[in-house]
Chains A and B, each alone.
Chain A
Amino acid sequence: MEKRVRFKGWLLPLCLVLPQLIISGVFFFYPAGQAIWQSLFIPDPFGLSSRFVGLGNFEFLFSDKYYLTSFLTTAIFSTLVTVVAMVPALFLAVMANRLIRGATTYRTLLIWPYAVAPAIAGVLWLFMFNTRVGIISWYLGQLGYDWNHVLNGGEAMGLVVVASAWGRISYNFLFFFAALQAVPRSVIEAAAIDGARFWRRFYTIVLPLLSPTTFFLLVVNIVYSFFETFGVIHTITSGGPQQTTTILVYKVFSDGFVGQDLGSSAAQSVVLLFVVGALTVVQFKFIEKKVHY
């Protein structure tokens, strides 16, 4: 860090960072500031004027039962997405790592879903589970199970979770696979000589050595499930039925654009800002300490 070449002068570097700063300013700091400022106002229904209400929007939000439920929904949703996206990925990566023949073919096929954008993944899964023409819901119907995610909140949640996690399985698989390849052979062989079998070796050696990757993927997947699953939810359920799949980010959109309640939407943005900040701090302060590097 210290021995690096450093050029003198301040005008040139300032000119070089300027484009980035202008873009950040116009599309990030100004809107973020605007969000905080707007969260203190209630606009009238026609958007002609707005009234200063201080923290009134926040008071209203935290006494709003739907908003509080949305927190719980988000927690359940992101936990499920992270688990569903990571566990099968780890399993498949361990399997692929054992195989030498055909590993490349398997890997190529597994990477495909990652190329599918969240909104399209949503449409694909909706296509399979559509209550009238969906192939899987039809076969479920033949088995005597009446699938209807339009009415059943639990089924809607399940479908949204699977559709969101699906593409991420590929992503997580790639990272786990790379990490597994990096586990030193000698350690595993030593354990094998000591008589540890496959699962024993997996739990006591491979899993701890994977923990930096697991931690990274945990952070990335939680952030993904919070913010990038909008497309999936919008295409499959639009937050319904009865708001059972309305996560915080979706509520910002639906209250702001659909409900036209800009003040409340802005207040929710500010709350989310704090949630993101808190999550980041928690992840790096507490979880990272338990990670074995």
Chain B
Amino acid sequence: MATHREMEIEPAPGMVEKKGGSLWFTHVLMIFGILVVFFPIWLAFVASTVTQPDIVRPPMPLMPGGHFIENYTRALFSGVNVPVATMLLNSLIMAVGIAVGKIIISLLSAFAIVYFKFPGQKTFFWMIFLTLMLPIEVRIVPTYEVVAGCRWLWHA
């Protein structure tokens, strides 16, 4: 609680938004927070620029090494089993396919439910909404069986 005397002093101009130098402590806290949050990503980057022996002999360096181009070329074009470039392409195809498919299908059904009046409208809405409630992990085994039943898995 502020005493009577302090109350007279405190609400001076610039009280709500301090400017310039008086914010140094906030900056320090912020930078500290960012260092902690960003550290794992930095470490991953450093690890990607050094050699295998550097990593497995603790402590690993905290500053990037000189193998950036070499490591990235190897990962992108030869990889361990599959080149990363191929995987990136696969991910892109999959992500774009899923995004486009999802948007088209949900756009159509949302349009139908909002702009039309037809029997079963409410039921359909709740049926679609309900799918949000039960994540894939919960019904993973039966869903796996459905896909396995399509025999897609056997044709790989």
| Residues on A facing B (Cβ under 8 Å) | 4-10, 12-14, 16-17, 19-21, 23-24, 26-32, 34-35, 38, 88, 91-92, 95-96, 98-100, 102, 106, 109-110, 112-113, 116, 121, 124-125, 127-128, 132-135, 138-139, 166, 169-170, 185, 188-189, 192-197, 226-228, 230, 249, 252-253, 256-257, 262, 265-266, 269, 272-273, 276-277, 280
Q: Which residue of A lies closest to B57 (CB)?
A: A133
Q: Indicate whether B156 reaches chain A with its CB closer than 8 angstroms.
A: no
Give the secondary structure class of A's interface: helix
Contact call A4/B137, Cβ cutoff below 8 A: no
Assembled-state Cα–Cα distance A196/B43 (Å): 42
User: What distance in Å separates the Cβ of A62 from its nearest Cβ neighbour in chain B?
Assistant: 18
In the complex with contacts A19-B109, A135-B60, A272-B11 CB distance below 8 A: no
Q: Is the CB of A252 within 8 A of B41?
A: no
For the complex of A and B, the 4 pairs showing the least CB-CB separation, nearest first, are: A31-B142, A13-B116, A16-B112, A20-B109
Say if the beta carbon of B26 comes within 8 Å of chain A. Answer: yes
Residue numbers in A under 8 Å from B99 (CB-CB): none
| Chain B residues positioned under 8 Å from A38 (CB to CB) | 141-142
Provide the residues of chain B in CB contact with A5, threshold 8 Å: 115
Q: Is the CB of A134 within 8 A of B138?
A: no
**24 pairs, CB–CB < 8 Å, chain A vs chain B:** A10-B116, A16-B109, A17-B124, A21-B124, A27-B146, A28-B131, A29-B127, A31-B143, A32-B142, A35-B138, A35-B139, A35-B142, A95-B26, A116-B41, A132-B58, A139-B59, A166-B37, A195-B11, A197-B2, A227-B138, A253-B140, A257-B140, A266-B141, A276-B135
Which of B18, B58, B140 contacts A256, CB < 8 Å? B140
A30–B150 CA distance with the chains assembled, in angstroms: 14
Option from B6, B30, B119 in Cβ contact (under 8 Å) with A96 = B30
Beyond A4-B114, A14-B112, A124-B43, 4 additional contacts (C-beta under 8 Å) are: A14-B118, A98-B26, A102-B27, A276-B134
Verify A106–B30 contact, CB threshold 8 A: yes
Give, as a whole number of angstroms, the nearest-CB distance from A145 to chain B: 15
- Contact between A277 and B133, CB atoms less than 8 A apart: yes
A142 nearest CB across to chain B (Å): 8
Q: Is the CB of B23 within 8 A of A98?
A: yes
A10-B118 contact in complex given A21-B124, A95-B33, A99-B27, C-beta closer than 8 Å: yes
Task: For residue A171, give the distance in angstroms from its CB to the closest CB of chain B.
Answer: 12
When distances are taken between beta carbons in the complex, the residues of chain A under 8 Å from B121 are 13
For A192, what are the chain B residues with a Cβ–Cβ distance below 8 Å? 10-11, 15-16
Give the residue name and chain of the A residue nearest to B3 (CB): A195
Report B55 CB to chain A, min CB distance, Å.
6
Judge if B105 is at the interface, Cβ distance under 8 Å. yes
Chain B residue at smallest Cβ distance from A95 = B30
Interface string of B70-99 (1 = CB under 8 A from A): 000000000000000000000000000000
Contacts of A95 in B (CB 8 A): 26, 29-30, 33
- Contacts A10-B119, A127-B43, A252-B140 given; does A195 touch B7 at CB 8 Å: yes
Q: Are A16 and B108 closer than 8 Å at their CB atoms?
A: yes
Contacts of B109 in A (CB 8 A): 16-17, 19-21
Partner of B146, one of A30, A96, A102, A125: A30
B81 to nearest A CB, angstroms?
16
A31 — which chain B residues lie within 8 A by C-beta?
A: 139, 142-143, 145-146
C-alpha spacing A186/B77, complex, angstroms: 58
Interface contact B115-A4, CB-CB below 8 Å: yes
Give the residues in chain A near B113, CB-CB below 8 Å. Answer: 13, 17
A10 / chain B contacts, CB cutoff of 8 Å: 116, 118-119
Which residues does chain A contribute within 8 Å of B106, judged by CB atoms? 20
CB neighbours (8 Å) of A96 from chain B are 30
Q: Say whether B111 faces chain A, with CB atoms less than 8 Å apart.
A: yes
Contact across chains for A128 and B2 when beta carbons are under 8 A apart:
no
Q: Give the residue among B26, B119, B142 with the most A Cβ atoms within 10 A.
A: B142
